[in-house]
Amino acid sequence: MTGMDRPRRLRRTPAMRRLVAETSLEPRHLILPMFVADGLDEPREISSMPGVFQHTMDSLRKAAVEAVAAGVGGLMLFGVPKAEDKDAQGSGASDPDGILNRGLRALVHEVGGSTVVMADTCLDEFTDHGHCGVLDANGAVDNDATLTRYVEMALAQAETGADLLGTSGMMDGQVGAIREGLDAAGYADTGILAYAAKYASAFYGPFREAVGSSLQGDRRTYQQDPANRREAIRELELDLLEGADIVMVKPAMSYLDILREVADRSTVPVAAYQISGEYAMITAAAQRGWIDRKGAVLESLLGIRRAGADMVLTYWATEAANWLR
């Protein structure tokens, strides 16, 4: 036969496949989410996320050093306060001596300059009602009052030396309010990683355990409806206008179409978060021998990169980075 197209020629050997690969996955593309918990004497494994831990301050530093040695691009820190330290305003979030800000200072001291230290800038871990903002007299999340708290939280995090602040609360105007507050206080170099498209997902379940969430009800009045696509582009455009340095889509695997559209339109780098439920599903299937763990992890990360993510938050960041090295 003559004239037949033979794409298989470019798949024939590992060297040929490597030569023509359209998407790369490298350690620098990976960001490790980490949890530091108050009151622990030793790290505590999260039961719904085998292999992921709530850290003590010492184990946090050790895990950060290991991640940097593997070549990861960054670390995103979440704080887990004691239950008795939570209140309606999430006061611990802006307390310089609160668990998250102490953890950020520890990371900046230990690995600052060697990787990008990122802070979760949201109140949900610190409120006794578990919502991402403060509540009004009727029990609804008060958007504008929450912005005031976000600015206070952002200033405390900037003071620790964090490089990027992760605005994950999905309040209207949050990026602009935080940017204005940072600039006015002299933190013009502190960047904002905006959760531009964060959906109200069923796949967040294990994360709620990870941060000891006190949430009653749901977050559907402020996180995006999974049915909506155009809304994500509107959120993206608003965050860009307000000064976002990086934008993010969360979750990743169920929203690869959204990620592709955001990547096609964004004028700044794009991140995606491979969330706790995605981690738990692959882990559980691999533990039962139903899938190849390493192969599934790397394929899932490559798929997120192929869809347009410049960087991926993943609980496998250190392990995957070591595989890729």
For residue 163, the domain's CATH number is 3.20.20.70
Q: Which positions of the chain have pLDDT values less than 50?
A: none
Residue type, 166: G
Instruction: Give CA–CA dist 192/154, Å, rounded.
Output: 10
19, part of any domain: no
Report pLDDT digits (tens) over 169-210: 999 999 999 999 999 999 999 999 999 999 999 888 887 777
Q: What are 53's strand-pairing partners? A: 45
228, part of any domain: yes
14, part of any domain: no
Do 54 and 36 form a contact (C-beta atoms < 8 A)?
yes
140, part of any domain: yes
Q: Which residues are annotated as a binding site?
A: 208, 219, 235, 276, 315
238, part of any domain: yes
Active site positions, annotated: 198, 250
For 53, the domain range is 25-324
Secondary structure class of 311 (helix, strand, coil): strand
Q: What pLDDT was estimated at residue 194?
A: 98
Cα-based distances in Å from 189 to 151, 274, 299: 15, 27, 35
Give the number of other CB atoms < 10 A from CB of residue 2. Answer: 3
DSSP 79-91: EE--GGG-BTT-G
**Is 202 exposed, middle or buried (CB count within 10 Å of its CB: 0-12, 13-18, 19+)?**
exposed
Encoded tokens for 305: 């990169």
94, part of any domain: yes
320, part of any domain: yes
How many domains in the chain?
A: 1
Q: Which residues are annotated as a binding site for 5-aminolevulinate?
A: 208, 219, 276, 315
Please provide the distance, in angstroms rounded to a whole number, between the alpha carbons at the two ends of the chain: 43
Instruction: Give CA–CA dist 236/86, Å, rounded.
Output: 32
Q: What pLDDT was estimated at residue 3?
A: 75
Which residue has tokens 């949430």? 215
Within a 13 Å sphere around the CA of 305, how many CA atoms are in the beta-carbon half?
19
Report pTM: 0.95
Which residue has tokens 């790369």? 24
12, part of any domain: no
Instruction: Give CA–CA dist 95/101, Å, rounded.
Output: 7
Q: Which residues are annotated as a binding site for Mg(2+)?
A: 235
Q: In 3D, which of 294, 250, 295 has the Cα closest to residue 274?
A: 250
Instruction: Give CA–CA dist 213/235, Å, rounded.
Output: 26
